């Protein structure tokens, strides 16, 4: 096969992919190997002293209620961001995919959230919900006749608010992709369905939704990575993982253990576990979703 | 080199005190009074919550130090590496019980980390704030009411210690080039200048770094013009400076220990754990950290 494609250049293909391989090795595989190695040690911050502890980091990890709590919190958070986030995005994209006046304005107005930095988004949400000075607790207090909403001492509420902020932040991205997906659904199909007397609701679920499946599966994947890895900024600004450990997502816990508490061995063990979990979920998702996706054309 | 040193004190809103029918020149001096005043202020309806604090971990350390109570063994880690924390006794329990009770009564509102509680005080949403003295200038500037400052509240009948110093100092790392060190030295001299120290103190509330700066401030009448700036000095000078407990801690994994305390306090305030269980949890986790630290750095 190779000889056919590059006659007379046996090593050319390897040479061509060498830069990518080098980058992957230097920046991904190398550090990954190192963190697996370090997960069997405890060490001082600058590595001046290391002690081999075997599986102790892992044993502590899985016997730590804080870590198990963090796993549960992460899955709740991810479920919210993925399920609620994608549903709302799809609904909004469907509304935007109509010929109405000023649709360009609405599109921009709904998409721009993605352009905000996590820090700014975090500050906006945190000040909106600030217990003593925020607008939302104020409105709720008036409407409910004095209920004092304080997410700084209410873990469930804090998790809900952080999840909502993360979902809001991702809406723009999801809407763009759903909109592009919707615009690729051939109009003839919907027209044919209409002539056959299908209700818009039925047409959506029987035609549009299945035809969107490549987009949906892509977004599922991206949103999962987002929920697991990219919400650090939001958490750091809004809650620092609190109150208690109510919003301590896995990546945030890893960051605290590794970079604030300088406990690199323990953090390395965590990163390996996260890698394992994410790979498993990703493989399952890719298997199921891509097999079921319908590719038109 | 010391640069931005502060301590914790009580800020209160004199206008709100008056509105609630309290004497604006008599701030609470004990936690018992914090509770009594709190109930009165709540009953008057001028605010929804009475007080909050910055840095909850540090405010707890203050409560121990100000009553000359140790935080960890081996003289707070000063005479040797600490092996365990010692705050989980009747006294430590009383602190967290008191705070939890005041929280449940709606007097105390948990304000989050660092300076996030300041905005509620500046906006007149709460009547009192326990915060670093370094917030003073900012609070005076942003508040449209008369601000009073006073000593950190005490528990009556317990020994006198001192409030501990917070803030920061400037460190120079080893192994810099001669040229860089010269630059660092120029910078250190600059920060130590009298005028700079005075400007820094007036602009924040941090203690001025030199005696010369302090004397100039005194001579120009700075402290009589605004007595609020005097409180921090008097509080520190009227306490003890000769015991380990009153001079702060020296603990390797302290950053992590502080966060453990905050999350335990949060659990107690949220009712997720009883105050007793929360403090037990903090003790257990902190002791493990100290043990690990000892394993790595001991001997």
According to the model, what pLDDT value does residue A296 have? 54
Q: Which among A42, A244, A261 has the least Cβ separation from residue B270?
A: A244
Q: Which of residues 176-215 of A touch B (CB under 8 A)?
A: none
Please say if the pLDDT value at position A102 is more than 50. yes
According to the model, what pLDDT value does residue A286 have? 78
Residue B114 at interface with chain A, using a CB cutoff of 8 Å: no
Q: What is the CB-side half-sphere exposure of residue B9 using CA atoms within 13 A?
A: 26
User: What residues of A are in contact with residue B52 (Cβ under 8 Å)?
Assistant: 132
Please say if the pLDDT value at position A294 is more than 80. no
How many angstroms separate the CA atoms of B147 and B140, rounded? 7
User: What residues of A are in contact with residue B102 (Cβ under 8 Å)?
Assistant: none
CA distance A245 to chain B (A): 7
At B164, phi and psi to the nearest 5? Answer: -90, 160
Looking at A6-67, which runs of residues are DSSP E strands? 41-43, 50-52
Does the beta-carbon distance from B269 to A42 stay under 8 Å? no
Strand B147-150 versus strand B128-132 pairing type: unpaired
User: What residues of B are in contact with residue A46 (Cβ under 8 Å)?
Assistant: none
Residue A59 at interface with chain B, using a CB cutoff of 8 Å: no
Alpha helices in A112-208 (DSSP H): 118-128, 135-144, 155-183, 187-195, 200-203
The one-character DSSP state at A247 is T
Strand B2-6 versus strand B166-169 pairing type: antiparallel
According to the model, what pLDDT value does residue A111 have? 84
Residue B295 at interface with chain A, using a CB cutoff of 8 Å: yes
Could you tell me which chain A residue has the CA closest to the CA of B264? Answer: A244
Residue A240 at interface with chain B, using a CB cutoff of 8 Å: yes
Residue B272 at interface with chain A, using a CB cutoff of 8 Å: yes
Please say if the pLDDT value at position A7 is more than 80. no
How many angstroms separate the CA atoms of A222 and A173, rounded? 10
According to the model, what pLDDT value does residue B216 have? 96
CA distance A109 to chain B (A): 30
Closest CA to A208 of A176, A182, A188: A182
Closest CA to B223 of B241, B207, B239, B240: B207
CA distance B269 to chain A (A): 7
CA distance A59 to chain B (A): 14
* Mutation target vs B (from A122, A131, A135, A254; most B CBs, 10 A cutoff): A131
Q: Which of residues 148-207 of B touch A (CB under 8 A)?
A: none
Tokens of A115: 């352009």
How many angstroms separate the CA atoms of A133 and B284, rounded? 36
Dihedral angle, C-alpha A22, A25, A28, A31, nearest 10 °: -130
pLDDT digits (tens, 9 = 90+) for B120-166: 999 999 999 999 999 999 999 999 999 999 999 999 999 999 999 99
Q: Which residue has the tokens 């890719």?
A: A286
pLDDT digits (tens, 9 = 90+) for A207-236: 888 888 888 988 988 999 899 888 999 999
Residue B279 at interface with chain A, using a CB cutoff of 8 Å: no
Q: What's the whole-number average pLDDT of chain A?
A: 88
User: Which regions of chain B are under pLDDT 50?
Assistant: none
According to the model, what pLDDT value does residue A295 have? 61
Instruction: Give A2's pLDDT tier (boundaries 50, 70, 90).
Output: very low
CA distance A113 to chain B (A): 25
Residue A185 CA to its chain's centroid (Å): 26
Residues of chain B above pLDDT 70, percent: 100
Q: Kindly give, in sequence order, each residue whose CB lies less than 8 Å from that of residue B136, ignoring residues fewer than 6 positions away.
A: B11, B149, B204, B205, B228, B229, B232
Does the beta-carbon distance from A244 to B263 stay under 8 Å? yes
Could you tell me which chain B residue has the CA closest to the CA of A147? Answer: B48
According to the model, what pLDDT value does residue A113 have? 84
Q: Which among A51, A152, A260 has the least Cβ separation from residue B296?
A: A51
According to the model, what pLDDT value does residue B81 have? 95
Tokens of B51: 């007080």
Q: What count of other Cβ atoms lies within 10 Å of the Cβ of residue B175?
A: 6
Instruction: Give A297's pLDDT tier (boundaries 50, 70, 90).
Output: very low
According to the model, what pLDDT value does residue B151 have? 97
pLDDT digits (tens, 9 = 90+) for A41-88: 988 887 788 889 999 999 999 999 889 999 999 999 999 999 999 999
CA distance A68 to chain B (A): 16
Does the beta-carbon distance from B255 to A261 stay under 8 Å? yes
Residue A43 at interface with chain B, using a CB cutoff of 8 Å: yes
How many angstroms separate the CA atoms of A278 and A75, rounded? 11
Residue A155 at interface with chain B, using a CB cutoff of 8 Å: yes
CA distance A148 to chain B (A): 9
Residue contacts between A and B (CB atoms, under 8 Å): 76
Query: What size, in residues, is chain B?
Result: 299
The one-character DSSP state at A51 is E
Residue A267 CA to its chain's centroid (Å): 20
């Amino acid at each position: 096969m190779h000889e056919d494609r590059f006659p007379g250049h046996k090593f050319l293909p390897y040479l061509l992919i060498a830069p990518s391989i080098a980058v992957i090795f230097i920046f991904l595989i190398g550090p990954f190997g190192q963190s697996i190695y370090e997960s069997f040690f405890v060490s001082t911050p600058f590595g001046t002293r290391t002690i081999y502890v075997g599986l102790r980091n892992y044993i502590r990890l899985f016997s730590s209620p804080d870590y198990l709590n963090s796993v549960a919190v992460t899955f709740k958070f991810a479920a919210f961001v993925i399920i609620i986030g994608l549903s709302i995005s799809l609904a909004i994209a469907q509304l935007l995919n109509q010929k109405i006046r000023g649709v360009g304005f609405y599109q921009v107005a709904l998409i721009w959230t993605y352009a905000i930095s996590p820090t700014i988004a975090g500050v906006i949400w945190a000040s909106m919900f600030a217990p003593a000075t925020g607008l939302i607790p104020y409105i709720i207090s008036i409407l409910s006749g004095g209920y004092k909403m304080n997410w700084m001492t209410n873990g469930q509420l804090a998790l809900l608010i952080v999840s909502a902020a993360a979902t809001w932040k991702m809406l723009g991205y999801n809407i763009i992709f759903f909109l592009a997906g919707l615009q690729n659904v051939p109009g003839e199909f919907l027209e044919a369905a209409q002539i056959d007397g299908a209700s818009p609701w039925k047409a959506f679920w029987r035609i549009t939704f299945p035809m969107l499946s490549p987009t949906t599966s892509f977004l599922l994947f991206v949103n999962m990575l987002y929920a697991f890895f990219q919400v650090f900024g939001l958490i750091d600004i809004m809650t620092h993982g609190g109150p208690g450990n109510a919003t301590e997502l896995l990546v945030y816990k890893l960051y605290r253990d590794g970079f604030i508490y300088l406990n690199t061995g323990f953090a390395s063990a965590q990163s390996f576990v996260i890698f394992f979990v994410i790979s498993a979920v990703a493989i399952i998702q890719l298997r199921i979703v891509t097999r079921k996706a319908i590719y038109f054309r | 080199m010391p640069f931005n040193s502060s301590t914790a004190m009580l800020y209160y809103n004199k206008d709100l005190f008056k509105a609630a029918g309290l004497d604006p020149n008599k701030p609470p001096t004990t936690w018992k009074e914090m509770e009594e005043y709190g109930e009165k202020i709540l009953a008057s309806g001028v605010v929804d919550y009475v007080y909050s604090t910055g840095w909850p971990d540090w405010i707890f350390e203050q409560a121990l130090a100000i009553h000359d109570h140790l935080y960890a063994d081996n003289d707070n880690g000063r005479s040797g590496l600490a092996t365990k924390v010692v705050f989980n006794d009747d006294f430590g329990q009383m602190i967290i019980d008191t705070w939890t009770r005041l929280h449940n009564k709606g007097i105390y509102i948990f304000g989050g980390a660092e300076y996030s509680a300041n905005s509620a005080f500046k906006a007149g949403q709460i009547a009192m704030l326990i915060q670093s003295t370094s917030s003073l200038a900012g609070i005076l500037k942003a508040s449209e009411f008369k601000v009073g400052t006073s000593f950190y509240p005490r528990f009556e009948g317990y020994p006198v210690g001192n409030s501990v110093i917070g803030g920061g100092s400037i460190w120079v790392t080893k192994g810099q080039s001669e040229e860089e060190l010269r630059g660092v030295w120029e910078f250190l001299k600059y920060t130590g200048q009298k005028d700079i120290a005075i400007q820094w103190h007036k602009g924040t509330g941090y203690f001025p770094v030199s005696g010369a700066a302090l004397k100039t401030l005194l001579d120009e009448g700075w402290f009589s013009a605004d007595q609020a700036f005097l409180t921090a000095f008097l509080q520190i000078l009227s306490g003890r400076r000769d015991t380990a407990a009153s001079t702060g801690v020296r603990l390797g994994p302290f950053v992590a220990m502080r966060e453990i305390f905050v999350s335990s306090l949060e659990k107690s305030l949220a009712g997720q754990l009883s105050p007793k269980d929360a403090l037990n949890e903090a003790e257990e986790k902190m002791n493990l950290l100290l043990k690990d630290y000892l394993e790595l750095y001991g001997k």
